[in-house]
A and B are shown apart, each in its own frame.
Chain A
Amino acid sequence: DAGITQSPRYKITETGRQVTLMCHQTWSHSYMFWYRQDLGHGLRLIYYSAAADITDKGEVPDGYVVSRSKTENFPLTLESATRSQTSVYFCASSVGGYSPLHFGNGTRLTVT
């Protein structure tokens, strides 16, 4: 099916472990984004990518790494997970310019 899919849907990990959240879109959208959603903070941009091999930091990039070797994939890696990274993570994509953002269903990450 066309769309944007995130995996896993739920993840529990321990402090200090590396974890990768996956994001895949089938529209060939140029732009992809990672947001985290927390009570009291709303949605905050972690990283974004304007095209394959082009990434840039958002508002809260510390502790996260991204890559985009293919247009359709935009994985987010927590190199050494901390409890403060417990959150719901959303991936999104858009054509760019004056076009709406399309979101995945999110990954709920718990760091114990």
Chain B
Amino acid sequence: KQEVTQIPAALSVPEGENLVLNCSFTDSAIYNLQWFRQDPGKGLTSLLLIQSSQREQTSGRLNASLDKSSGRSTLYIAASQPGDSATYLCAVEYGNKLVFGAGTILRVKS
């Protein structure tokens, strides 16, 4: 069964800290992996997409890495800000199907 696990489930950090969110998946035959952000009461916003042939993607203060062989991805957030507070979801694409992790709830304290 294709499963996606995110650790930790919740994280609270002081403003300015660098942090890493983890995502692991059981089936390495992926098409791509996406990281999303979800604010309370809102839909999901795509942050980064890493194709299966890529090792990492960067957007501003965000950097996502992918290690297919070990079934892992990390989302690195540099110099965290209170506005980064949200739920971050990892999703792995297999064909036309996206399998989502349960998410990491991030709180950045000012």
Asked if A106 and B43 make an inter-chain contact with CB atoms under 8 angstroms apart, the answer reads: yes
Asked if B103 and A42 make an inter-chain contact with CB atoms under 8 angstroms apart, the answer reads: yes
The CA-CA distance from A44 to B42 in the complex, in Å, is 17
Once A and B bind, how many residue pairs between them come within 8 Å at the CB atom?
A: 50
Is B34 positioned at the interface, with any CB of A under 8 Å from its CB?
A: yes
When distances are taken between beta carbons in the complex, the residues of chain A under 8 Å from B34 are 100-101
Asked if B102 and A42 make an inter-chain contact with CB atoms under 8 angstroms apart, the answer reads: yes
For chain B, what secondary structure do more than half of its interface residues adopt (helix, strand, loop), or is it mixed?
Answer: strand
Scoring A residues 69 to 94 as 1 if CB is less than 8 Å from chain B, else 0, what string do you get?
Answer: 00000000000000000000010100
Asked if B98 and A45 make an inter-chain contact with CB atoms under 8 angstroms apart, the answer reads: yes
The CA-CA distance from A100 to B35 in the complex, in Å, is 9
The CA-CA distance from A59 to B31 in the complex, in Å, is 18
The CA-CA distance from A103 to B42 in the complex, in Å, is 9
* CB proximity to A under 8 Å, residues B9-53: 31-32, 34, 36, 41-46, 49, 51
B: residues with CB less than 8 A from A are: 31-32, 34, 36, 41-46, 49, 51, 89, 91, 96-98, 100-103
